[in-house]
Amino acid sequence: MADCKPNAELTKLAAGLTRSSNIYSDALGQLAKHTSSIDAVSKAVSAQFDIEHGLLRSTEAALKQMRLLDPISPSIQSIVSANASFTRMAERLASIENSQSAAIRKIFDDHARIQKAIEGIGLSGSVTAAFSRIDPTRMLSASLAAQAKLANFDNLVFGRLAGLDAAFSQAISTNLGNLTRSYQSLINVAATRESLASRLPLITTYVPVEYYREVEVIETITVEEEVEGEHSEGLISTAIAESLPSVDDLLAAFDKRLIRLLHGARQSLCSDNPDRARHVTTSMRELFTQVLHALAPDEDIRMWTSNDDFFHENRPTRRARLLYICRHIDCDPLSRFVQDDVRAALSFVESLNAGTHVVESRLSTVQLSSIISRMESLLVFLLQLQNQ
């Protein structure tokens, strides 16, 4: 198992970066409500700059140290590489000076809530730049936390706490390995390809959450719960929730009829029905299927492509639907990540729903809640891809 000290340090750094982004967010809120002066906020933000620079330098050093650990699994190598690239992106944002802040604001100008809040306030460039990196800093925290969790899986059988058989355990391992490599590839490309600047808000905000949620759900069925570090994890989870749009609101705007399936899964979670695990997974699987088919209807896909590889028994394949959703995004690594992300999440839910790989179903409330959070996150991601 990987050395616990570097992972504990990484968790602390992730929590520190989350607190840093919260400071910027709180300052933004004070300005928007006119409860604080611009001068006071500028001083607070300037002081926080130095703290954040120190946190990012420490993160970079910790990641370099982890690369020297022996042995280190391929998945850990991949996530360390991804987080090193993510940290470099955050450092570039943190080094923005007044003369450059306008350019970085353009990259993140689709964050309407930030733009609306600062509109007309007359902030200095450096303060506005700080607000522009609220979400990327929070999601770097999520990515670092995912790495710390992943290290705890070494030498453990995936799904051992949920009574899963060897075939299901191996499938989880394979899907997580594929998703980790896709994540590494996408983050590395995003950090180096200038042409992806307009996609950075989408990539840095939603992709790390998807990876974090996948690791989190596997953790709940693999690793015994530990009290140590719960405060940091709660801080990071809260920051993630506050940074993302509500799945309820997105579904209501997309098709309000689908809300019933989501509420059904949540109600099953709170019930004492011995078959509640199947009810939860059935509702979430059906909800995902409904959203996917609405985002990529059969006829629209037939107009988009006639490639036989994208059809099975005259119906579009899941891969075809996902590629259709990503058709306007000129980034192959992102398309691959979407495919691996959906495969990992849906394979997990479908296998649990079928019950064929479960030796003895004993999913706890925490585990089922994590499954719902995983699927909710995936739905938000796909709906935001469509919005792009």
User: How far apart, in whole angstroms, are the C-alpha atoms of residue 242 and residue 82?
Assistant: 24
Which domain-ending residue is among 243, 272, 291?
Answer: 243
Q: What is the reported pLDDT for 223?
A: 92
Q: What is the reported pLDDT for 345?
A: 95
Indicate if 34 and 159 belong to the same structural domain: yes
Indicate if 221 and 82 belong to the same structural domain: yes
Q: What is the reported pLDDT for 198?
A: 74
Question: In this structure, what is the dihedral angle of CA atoms 281, 287, 293, 295, given to the nearest 10 degrees?
Answer: -130
Q: What is the reported pLDDT for 230?
A: 66
Q: How many CA atoms lie within 13 A of 165 on its CB side?
A: 8
Q: What is the reported pLDDT for 109?
A: 42
Collapse the DSSP code of 274 into the 3-class scheme (helix H, G, I; strand E, B; otherwise coil) and give the result. Answer: coil
Q: What is the reported pLDDT for 240?
A: 84
Tally of structural domains, the chain: 2
Indicate if 182 and 306 belong to the same structural domain: no
Q: What is the reported pLDDT for 32?
A: 64
DSSP state letters, 71-140: S--HHHHHHHHHHHHHHHHHHHHHT--HHHHHHHHHHTTT-HHHHHHHTTT---HHHHHHHHTHHHHHHH
Indicate if 193 and 263 belong to the same structural domain: no
The pLDDT averaged over each successive group of 10 residues in the chain (388 residues) is 68 89 74 70 72 89 85 90 90 57 41 47 45 67 93 87 86 95 94 78 90 95 74 82 88 94 92 84 93 96 95 94 90 94 92 63 85 96 88
Please state the pTM of the whole predicted model: 0.86
Indicate if 264 and 380 belong to the same structural domain: yes
For 94-109, the pLDDT digits (tens) are 665 433 344 434 433 4
**Domain CATH for 253:** 1.20.120
Which domain-ending residue is among 214, 243, 272?
Answer: 243
User: Domain range for residue 268?
Assistant: 247-387
For residue 74, what are the CA distances in angstroms to 28, 166, 176, 285?
41, 21, 11, 31
Cβ atoms of 320 and 305 closer than 8 Å: yes
What the block records as the tokens of 54 is: 């120190």
